[in-house]
Amino acid sequence: MILFSMIIGFLAVFLFCKKFFKNTAVAIIGGIVASIISIPLLPYGYFLCLCQKNSGQKIYKTVKQWKAENPNAWENLQEISWENVKYGDIPEYYKQHNIPQYKKFRGKKYELSKGSNQRVLDYGKSKRHWSGIILHNRHIFYDNLKNEILIEQNYYRYYIEFFVGGYDCGETQVHIRDFSNPKPLK
């Protein structure tokens, strides 16, 4: 598919340059440049297809339902700080309370993510797609006390490293911080 698109791009620019500039060398150079420039843009169609078919979230329990079932828990939950935590490690709080760094869900290994609190944990997994510019992200929000999955998220990010920004699809309305009280503990 990528090779086919590059050939079509090359031919289109080659024929355009050949007709207007009447110079074969300019036409060949123009076609090569067009082929190279089009490479990062080609997976975008595949990205849109992935977004439509695979992205989104499955809510097993809403934040409102969780708060109703745990009436006094929310007021005491705070996001755990990841400040001064080395890459590949987790905060001391989780180690002291035997909270695992990894969780298996549906045969896949998820890693504890920033933003988790004392009880509701965000486990995430990211995988770069074959194109190199599509990132597949999965997250599960897990109630550590009740041992249940609250929300499962699946979304994609399309980006090109030498450009600024990117595009997300399947980005969800519910975030792990919704399960933490934003006010500091007294």
Tokens of 148: 């249940």
Higher per-residue confidence, 186 vs 36: 36
Cα separation values, 39 from 42, 129, 162, Å: 6, 15, 13
- Rg of the chain in Å (alpha carbons): 23
Is pLDDT larger for residue 104 or for residue 168?
104
What mean pLDDT, rounded, does the chain reach? 81
Answer whether residue 181 shows pLDDT above 70: no
Q: What was the pLDDT predicted at 186?
A: 43
Most confident of the ranges 31-35, 115-119, 134-138, 156-160: 134-138
